[in-house]
Structure 1
Amino acid sequence: MRNWAGNIDYAARDLVRPTSLEELADRLVVGGPVRALGSRHSFNDLADTTGTHVQVDRLDDGRPAVDLDPGTGVVSVNAGMRYGEVSQVLYAHGRALTQLASLPHLSVAGAVATATHGSGDTNRSLAGAVVALELMTTAGELRRITRETDPEVFAGTVVSLGVLGIVTRIELATVPAFQVRQDVALELPWDAVLDRFDDVTGSAYSVSLFTRWDEPTVRAAWFKSVVSEGRGHRPDALPDLHWAEHDVHPVPGVDPGACTAQHGVPGPSHERLSHFRLDHTPSVGEELQSEYLLPRKHAVKAVEAMRGLGSVVAPLLMTGEVRTVAADDLWLSPFAEDSIGLHFTWLPRAPEVARVLPLIEETLAPFGARPHWGKVFAADPVAVRAAYPRFDEFRVLADRLDPEGRLRGGYVARLLA
């Protein structure tokens, strides 16, 4: 079995999809290496194991797969569900999540465990919406961990890389449903964007800047703005913006049919905040992805440094993206303070990409860049551990919940070695 991108052949000897908590417990107490597997969107071997892969998408614990508490607005979901599916159910009940990633096809547990994110100056990563989670340890014990009842360790259990247990349910904060419009501006001069970076990224609920780094302009800026009482407008962060007259795909030349609606047409937030539609497959996985997260205060200098690498990066790049993410307090989240993400969607040329990554990481190191857990990067595990001040506490927590280290495979085995 392979990951979605097709660049990783999993070493697991089998895959199980338990249909009950009892079945899951029976499998876990058997012994041997085991790892949770989500929608297989990691581009490295983070989710790999030499033992058994477990998917919980068919798990029935006696509760609705999407269980909304109308009093608190908290929704409890099966951890194997996809974000787009959860959002559709919430919308039918007048609720919404505050943020979504570019793809609504990601499993909730997998996205949360890796601190996957969308964009927006005030929007935290998807993990930032978690208020509680349930996981089953390798001893077959089901545990519910909440911010209120477990304040000492809650922040260490959310972005967990899957090494604390098999997550079965996740509880997320929601807000009243809201409408969003999406407008795409083309060819924004880099100098103007960097001179007014805060104005540009703050001009809409969510903003994404697309570039190949060797271009004199930002090729496309996607502005996702909240629509209030049926009204909305195009952002005016920069004068004389040139608005796209036709649908635009993040990758030049690709059919935009899989993209969410543009041209200012209002729609439910879950049909605009992601770049791609749930009912379409945005690609067949013939790509690689990298991303580096760094403090927002270094945004302009980091972007300028990356532009200096344009001639090296662009020949291997399908597209690049600049996004902003608000801070959280989660131990292994790369967003200890307000941050930006520099995202790279590569051509599927792994050996050449591998040669470029060390140069990118060396260039971004002075700005405190951390790699996205689920994407390809070159950084040594020792250096990655050092970037997280509470990593030693996380290791203690992992040792306590999984004393035999059965949940450690692939990259996390090297990280925790």
Structure 2
Amino acid sequence: MAQMINLDFSSGYASELGKSVKIRSYDVGFSDEVFVNLVKSNTNNNVAHISSDFSSFAYNVVGIDFSLSREEIEADLVFATDLISVILQSQSAEPLNINESALFKVTIRKIYSEKIYQVYKVRYLKDTNINLYNRLIGLGFDDNFELRELKDNEFEYLKRPLLGDVAKYCKIQSSNQQIKKEDRDAYSTLAFKLLSIEKLELFSRFDSIKIENADFLSMDLNNFKESNLFTPIFLCIFQKTYLKDRDNALKCKRSGIQMPKLFYAIEESRNFFEVPYFETMLKKLAFEARKYNVHLCFIAQLPEHIPAGILKQLSTRIFLLIPLKKGETINEIKKHFNPPQKVIDLLNETDMHELCIWYANGVFNLKFEISEEEMRVFNTNPNL
């Protein structure tokens, strides 16, 4: 990342940040804290930081922007459907089946088009988002003002239904004698699953995550890592970031402006793959992300921490080997990557602190000369 943004380690200025590349760093364990603080210290860099805090986290899983193109709306509906399955699996429950998934998307479209959802007022935010509540009160709105009447585009996300509205509609349809029995049954099980998620509260309130339009976004997920909801929470933050990046990419495309590369670095990626459905969902996201110049980078201790289906799609692999465990690590690489002999030969020749880089057109070793100034930024050992 330091190379891509052309970081000056003495001043913290990153001359390529925002021009040729933008960074989105999902960190677990504060491993890039010193690096981020250095970049942030130079006011010429556009840097934003999101800290992990359960008490202030909220995400509206059915908050779809229907003013977008048909393709974008469909992609966001698929994401919302898949996210429901990820949340369910994180709680050891069954994901949505094909009938439930179809009805979930149909229901969201119907609720939006016919506006069959609760009229939320400012007072609703008093118990769910006190900071936003106080802000609206400060702007002169009273408790009984309807959120759907807010004129500022900034508050557009407050004019949408919540998960409870979708669950309520499904519950009603489960007793609708005018539809097929199999559809009633699917609505019934779908309503049960959605109501179960609503009880978690985190995914059934208006969004509290604010993603700034920064060139370098650092997201600290450390406080979430012990929770069984870690993966769905990450996906919510990822999606919010991705949607803003997608919007900017489309604006650049329509204006004929070249879009900078978007580099998404996902630290300790084993934490994200503990929910089986996450792999399926990530493949879909990765496939669409290519259109918007998004490049995904997974950082893991061992190959086994990344599912085989994802490993096969990685076009560039960078290995760092510990001398005492070199043989063991190379065996792991053989097992999970099935590399050609040239890669194995170079892995055996790789020294400590040397990179073995295997990419689409070949393999090579690379060792950087690291100055003391740079080492102070890269070293994560608290005792040094």
Q: Flag whether TM exceeds 0.5 (same fold).
A: no
Q: Which structure carries more strand by proportion? A: 1
**Which has more helix, going by share of residues?**
2
Q: TM-score scaled by structure 1?
A: 0.25
**TM-score normalised over the length of structure 2:** 0.27
Structure with higher RCO (Cα < 8 A, 6+ apart): 2
